[in-house]
């Protein structure tokens, strides 16, 4: 008589190295997200809960309020609009100027190409804060103070070297056979760049554009100095000027609420283009 052997369920054994890896991942994620969570909770805490000692890490429902967000008013939306306009125009100009320049350095035989690349690299590594006094004199001499151009032009100039370097590396990864085929089909250099090359480098354009946008969105020193009209200020300046009821009071709640609102557009932007960002970062890592 045949005996039917019951299938034995294999026990999953987790190796110590894999367990240690997951513990490290959890700790790293918690370490990175803890400040964000703390800022978010602070933006909803009441002033009494914020000032309580010992610190209340997890407030109850009666210790939460939306008054900090309401207190920012409609003016803060205007500041967000100013930041969005300046950042968007600066990013577009960087890509429009940087893409042809990067393609020229990647494909064309330019005399002194190595010297040009060295200068671009030096400018990209140069601390932009050291340019502050010189830019201030230029802004005063040209008379563009209290004008969006006073921010758009410096942001574009600072981000343009990085844009050129990043896009040049992507253009070098593209096969030249496609460009040769396009020339045989009658495309000139501008048409080939517009219809063939640039569509293939969309991940690089998105990655570079987001880096440029984030820099312009978060920049503080130029925005504080070159723009003095309150209705034209950007988010970093608006957050820095939030005051309390007295000189000795630090309005932690309104500052946290303003910080959260100023970060939400960047989070949405990254989530919308996360696939393109990953493609842009990993493209060219492996040559096939």
Measuring CA to CA, how many Å separate 140 from each of 150, 220, 227?
10, 19, 12
What is the rounded CA–CA span in Å between residue 268 and residue 282?
21
Q: What is the DSSP string of 187-238?
A: --HHHHIIIIIHHHTHHHHHHHHHHHHHHHHH--HHHHHH---GGG--HHHH
How far apart, in whole angstroms, are the C-alpha atoms of residue 1 and residue 3?
Answer: 6
pTM: 0.79
Q: Reply yes or no: is the peptide bond before residue 31 cis, omega within 30 of 0.
A: no
Q: What is the pLDDT of residues 123-156, one digit of tens each?
A: 777 777 788 888 888 888 888 888 888 899 999 9
The two tokens of residue 62 are: 């009666």
pLDDT tens readout for residues 187-222: 777 777 777 777 777 888 888 888 889 889 988 888
Count other Cβ atoms within 10 Å, centred on residue 122: 10
| DSSP 8-state symbol, 108 | S
Instruction: Tell me the residue length of the chain.
Output: 288
Percent of the chain with pLDDT over 90: 6
Per-residue pLDDT reduced to its tens digit, 18-60: 888 888 888 888 888 888 888 888 888 887 888 777 877 787 8
Q: Tell me the per-residue pLDDT of 216-274, one tens digit each, with 9 for 90 and over.
A: 998 888 888 888 888 888 888 888 888 655 566 678 888 888 888 888 888 888 888 77
CATH 1.10.3720.10 domain span(s) along the chain:
74-282
Residue 288's pLDDT is 42
| Dist CA 35 CA 252 (whole Å) | 14
Could you tell me which of 69, 213, 256, 16 has the C-alpha nearest to residue 205? 213
DSSP letter for 60, please: -
Judged against a pLDDT cut of 90, whether residue 89 lies above it is answered with yes
| Domain 74-282 in CATH 1.10.3720.10 | yes
Cβ pair 61, 220 in contact under 8 A: no
């Amino acid at each position: 008589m045949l005996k039917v052997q019951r299938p034995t369920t294999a026990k999953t054994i987790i190796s110590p190295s894999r367990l240690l890896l997951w513990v490290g991942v959890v700790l790293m994620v918690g370490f990175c997200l803890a400040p964000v969570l703390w800022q978010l909770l602070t933006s909803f805490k009441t002033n009494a809960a914020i000032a309580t000692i010992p610190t209340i890490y997890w407030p109850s429902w009666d210790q939460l309020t939306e008054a900090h967000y309401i207190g920012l008013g409609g003016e803060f939306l205007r500041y967000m609009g100013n930041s969005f306009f300046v950042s968007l125009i600066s990013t577009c100009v960087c890509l429009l100027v940087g893409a042809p320049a990067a393609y020229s350095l990647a494909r064309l035989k330019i005399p002194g190409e190595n010297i040009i690349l060295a200068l671009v690299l030096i400018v990209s590594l140069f601390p932009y804060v050291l340019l502050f006094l010189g830019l201030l004199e230029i802004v005063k001499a040209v008379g563009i103070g209290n004008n969006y151009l006073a921010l758009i032009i410096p942001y574009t100039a600072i981000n343009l070297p990085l844009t050129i370097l990043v896009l040049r590396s992507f253009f070098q990864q593209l096969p030249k056979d496609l460009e040769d085929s396009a020339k045989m089909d009658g495309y000139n250099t501008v048409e080939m760049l517009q219809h063939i090359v640039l569509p293939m480098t969309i991940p690089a354009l998105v990655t570079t554009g987001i880096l440029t946008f984030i820099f312009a969105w978060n920049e503080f020193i130029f925005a504080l100095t070159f723009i003095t009209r309150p209705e034209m200020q950007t988010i970093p300046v608006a957050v820095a000027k939030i005051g309390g009821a007295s000189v000795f009071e630090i309005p932690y709640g309104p500052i946290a609420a303003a910080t959260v609102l100023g970060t939400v557009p960047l989070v949405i932007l990254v989530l919308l283009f996360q696939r393109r960002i990953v493609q842009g970062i990993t493209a060219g890592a492996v040559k096939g």
